[in-house]
Structure 1
């Protein structure tokens, strides 16, 4: 294809390393959460976002944007958590069309129990593998990639998880 800037050997090595690392880390974390806490990684992330929010609740549209998922995908995931009694949905008092997802006390307990094992898995799979200066480079580089691909209207949110560590926020 004329005009295509093909990847050179160095660029291809970076791309393939990124693909392998993200795939293996994702699978490792998914397996750890399922085995240790009976949660999928998306379920864990939803619980974390709700735990970090004021009053433990977030508008569904805001939650979808913060989790980088579609509204329909989030609706399905929240529905699964709702069936387990970990999350509940209710109408937004300030907007008739708005729906809030809220963390239940059971959801908070499940998250508290899951977080230590998940953080240990994140450390083992990524954080402790890298040298401190490599962590800084990875954070800057991947942050720049994320910002470049972020939709223009999306605000940058806080990564404060209310004292509960996560893998991706």
Structure 2
């Protein structure tokens, strides 16, 4: 029996490790169910979900050239279409403004906010660097003054 990606099969758990479970498939081949593919929720100890000798339904996720078979118990469960993950409930924002549209990130529609409303052009890289340098020097001098005052002024050492 050839094992194809996407097919659901019955198998028997033959071994359990800290990273997953080995499942013997029809035809004598063995595949691995990674610990992340055992259940929909977080699995800390795989022994709470599976036992050696247990019959399980698995879905073939991938078959590598060297013969390794990747399996999933989680994806083998029958679910109605569109229920992969429940939609996040919208909640009012603390500022009272309407919530941002979902989808985030900067994509073809995400990052362009339209023309700028202020009349100043965006600062150049050199302007940003000079401002950073100025702020940095101010902070360093403030820190230096504070440490000198704690030592007794002008870098004098107590003896």
The TM-score normalised by the length of structure 2 is 0.23
Which one has a bigger Cα radius of gyration?
2
Higher RCO (Cα < 8 Å, 6 or more apart): 1
Structure richer in helix, relative to its length: 1
The TM-score normalised by the length of structure 1 is 0.22
Structure richer in strand, relative to its length: 2
